Amino acid sequence: MCGIIGYVGNKNAAEEVREGLFRLEYRGYDSAGAAIMDENGIISVVKKQGKVANLAPYLDDISGRIGIGHTRWATHGKPSDVNAHPHSSGKITVVHNGIIENYAELKSKLEACGERFFSQTDSEVAAKLINRNFKGDLLCALAETVKVLKGSYALMAICEGVSAIAVAKYRSSVILGYGDDEYFCASDEPALAGKCSSISVLEDGDLAYITPDGIEIYDDGMQQVIRDKRANTAAAQSLDLCGYPRYMLKELYETPAAVERTVKEFNAAAPKLREALRGINRIILLGCGTAYHAGLVGKRYFEAFARIPAECENAGEFRYKNPVVCEGAAVFAVSQSGETADTVEAARLARTLGAKVIAVTNAPNSALTRLADVVAPVAAGTEICVAATKSYTAQIACLYLCALTFAGEPLTCERAVALTKMPALCEKTLASVNTYSIANMCAGASGVYFLGRDVDYAVALEGSLKLKEVSYVPGEGYPAGELKHGTLALIDGKTVCVALVFDKNLAKKCENAVEQVLSRGGRAVVITNVVGVCASLKDRVRIISLPDCDKFLSPLISAVAVQKLAYETAAVLGRDPDKPRNLAKSVTVE
C-alpha cells in the first residue's frame, strides 16, 4: 500500500521520480524517499518522514538518468526517516510495496550471519538478500532473492555502477511504461498519466529488467516473456485540481459524469455479463470499506429486482471463514482500485471454489480485472482523494444494472431508463444542498449517528464512514429501528443524529426514531425526499430536501448529500480530506 516509481531515460530522473511520487501519494503518505544514480553509477539516497512535499526540495540538488522512489504507508515500523524507503545494503538499493511475511525469520538468519539492520521494516531484508546474492548480475540476484520471500511484493532494485532497474512482482501491482527512449515502472496508471504512449502490466512471478535500451520481462522460470502492450489512456488532466481546493470536492462534483459514463459503458458489457450469469442461483457481493457499502446497496437490488437471496460480506471476513461456495454462485467483487488485497484474494478463493467472479471495478488493468470471469465496468475515472466519492455512486449504478440484467430485464426497461435521469438529479443535489451550518454542528459534536432503514441504512453506514475518515469526528451508522436497542444510550446534547429517509412507506417509522433522539436532548438532521416528513418537528429538526426519485435510486443522491456534509465538516475542522491521517487509498496488504 505504498507507491513505487522507477525511471530510466534521458530526462532528469530526480524530477521524474519526484513527479511520480506526488502522483502516487494517495497510496500512502507516512514518508517518502528516492534513490538517484548519477552518470558515474553512484547512487544518492534521500528519504524523509511525512508527505512528499517534505522530500521534494532535497531532490533539487540531485540528478541522474536512473531513479527509483517510494511513498510509504507504514506497516512494519513506525513512520520515520530511517524506516522510509529506499533501503540499501552494500551496492544495492531497493524500494518495496507489499509485506514480506517471513521477514522475521529471514532477519534472524541474516543477523546470525553478521548483518546489521538499521530499520524496523520488513523491506530491509530484501536489500540485504539481494546484496548477498549479487555476483555481477542484478536481475539474477533479485530472482534468487524472491525465491525465499513469502508474502507480497512489488520490488525495484538498483545497483551502483549498473545502468538498470530490476523489478519483481507478486501480488502487488506493477506496470511498465514505454516512452520515447525512456522507460517507467510504477504501482499504478495515474503515476504514468501522459508520461508514455504504452504500458504493460506484470503478472505474478514476473521479473523485469529496465535499461536505457528497453525492457525485458521474464517469468518465474527466468524465461523471457512478452506481456501485452496497451495504449496508455490515463490522461494527465485528471490529476489537476481544476480550480477546486481539494480532490474530494472535485471528485464529488464529477459524480454526475461518473454515473453517466458507467451507464454507457455497461451497455457494451451487458451481453457478456448476461451470458456469464446464466444458471446462477446464488449471489454474493464482496468488498472492503466504501466498496463493501456499495455492495450492501447492490444486495438489495438483486433481492428486489430478481427476488433471489443475496449476501454481502466484507471481503476480509469472507476469505478467512472457510466460506461455503459452490458452482452456481456468482461473486460480485466490488473494488475501486481492483487491487485491494482482501477483495482480490477473496475473489480468487471464490473462483477456486467454483464461483463465477464478476469484477465491479474502476480499474480495467487491475489484478481483480485479470482474475475475473467478467468485468462490470465502473467508469468513474481517476479518483485521487483517499475517501471514495464518485466511485461509490458509480459502483451503485453499475450494481443496479447488474441486478436488472440478472433479473432478465432489458436495458430499455423502466427502471434502467429511470437510472439515466439520475446524473441530472445528482447535479441538482450538488447545486442545491447546503450542508454548511450542519457541518458546523457536526464539527462540534461528540458523536454523529447516521440512521436509516433498508437502502437508507446502507447509505447511513457510508455517510458515517465518510465523516469519520475525513473529519475524525466519531460516529456510527445504525438501522433506525436499532436505535432503541443501544445507541440511544449515547444520545445527549453533544450528539447529532442524521436520519436518511427516502422510502415513503418507512417514513413514519423513521420519524419515530427522530422523535426519540429529540426527546433525549439530541440534535437531529433529516435528509429526505419524502414530502412532509418530520413536518411536525420542523422547528426542532434541520431538514435537507432532495429531489424526488425511486427509493432504489435514492442512494445516488443521498450519497452525494452525506459526502458533501463530510467534506464540509472536514473543512470546518481544517482537516485534509484528500489524505486523512493513517489511511491510504489502495490497501494492497492484508
585 as an active site residue: the answer is yes
Q: Which burial class, exposed, middle or buried, applies to 233 when counting CB atoms under 10 A from its CB (0-12, 13-18, 19+)?
A: exposed
Whose CA is closest to 587, among 320, 335, 360, 392?
335
Q: Which is nearer to ligand G6P, 145 or 337 (CB)?
A: 337
Considering the candidates 390, 466, 564, 585, report the single residue annotated as catalytic. 585
**In the complex, what is the shortest distance from the CB of residue 463 to ligand G6P, in angstroms, rounded to a whole number?**
14
**In the complex, what is the shortest distance from the CB of residue 468 to ligand G6P, in angstroms, rounded to a whole number?**
11
Q: Which burial class, exposed, middle or buried, applies to 213 when counting CB atoms under 10 A from its CB (0-12, 13-18, 19+)?
A: exposed
- Give the interface size with ligand G6P as a residue count (CB under 6 A): 16
| Binding of residue 407 to ligand G6P (CB under 6 A) | no
| Binding of residue 583 to ligand G6P (CB under 6 A) | yes
| Binding of residue 517 to ligand G6P (CB under 6 A) | no
Only one residue has cell 530490476, namely: 166
135 as an active site residue: the answer is no
**In the complex, what is the shortest distance from the CB of residue 385 to ligand G6P, in angstroms, rounded to a whole number?**
8
**Which of 159, 186, 217, 288 is close enough to bind ligand G6P by CB under 6 A?**
288
CB-based burial, 301-310: b 16+ in 10 Å, e otherwise: bbebbbebeb
Return the range that interacts with ligand G6P (CB under 6 A); candidates 5-13, 99-107, 289-297, 317-325.
289-297
Element (H, E) at 77: none
Return the range that interacts with ligand G6P (CB under 6 A); candidates 50-58, 97-105, 337-345, 511-519.
337-345
Please, how many CA atoms are within 13 Å of residue 138, restricted to the half-sphere of its CB?
Answer: 25
DSSP state, 547?
Answer: -
505 forms beta bridges with none
| Binding of residue 585 to ligand G6P (CB under 6 A) | yes
| Binding of residue 289 to ligand G6P (CB under 6 A) | yes
**In the complex, what is the shortest distance from the CB of residue 338 to ligand G6P, in angstroms, rounded to a whole number?**
7
Strand order in the sheet with 374-377: 310-314, 282-287, 329-335, 356-361, 374-377
Contact criterion met (CB below 8 Å) for 474 and 446: yes
Largest distance between two CA atoms of the chain: 81
**In the complex, what is the shortest distance from the CB of residue 234 to ligand G6P, in angstroms, rounded to a whole number?**
16
**Which of 336, 405, 495, 563 is close enough to bind ligand G6P by CB under 6 A?**
336
DSSP string for residues in 124-169: HHHHHHHHHH-SS-HHHHHHHHHTT--EEEEEEEEETTEEEEEEEE
| Binding of residue 337 to ligand G6P (CB under 6 A) | yes
| Binding of residue 471 to ligand G6P (CB under 6 A) | no
What is the x/- site pattern for ligand G6P, positions 371-390, by CB under 6 A?
A: ---------------xxx--
**CA 150/CA 203 separation, integer angstroms:** 17
DSSP state, 228?
Answer: -
Q: Which is nearer to ligand G6P, 106 or 286 (CB)?
A: 286
**Which of 290, 435, 464, 563 is close enough to bind ligand G6P by CB under 6 A?**
290
Considering the candidates 2, 312, 398, 402, report the single residue annotated as catalytic. 2
- Residues lying near ligand G6P in the complex (CB under 6 A) are found at 288-291, 335-337, 340, 343, 386-388, 583, 585-587
Catalytic machinery residues: 2, 585
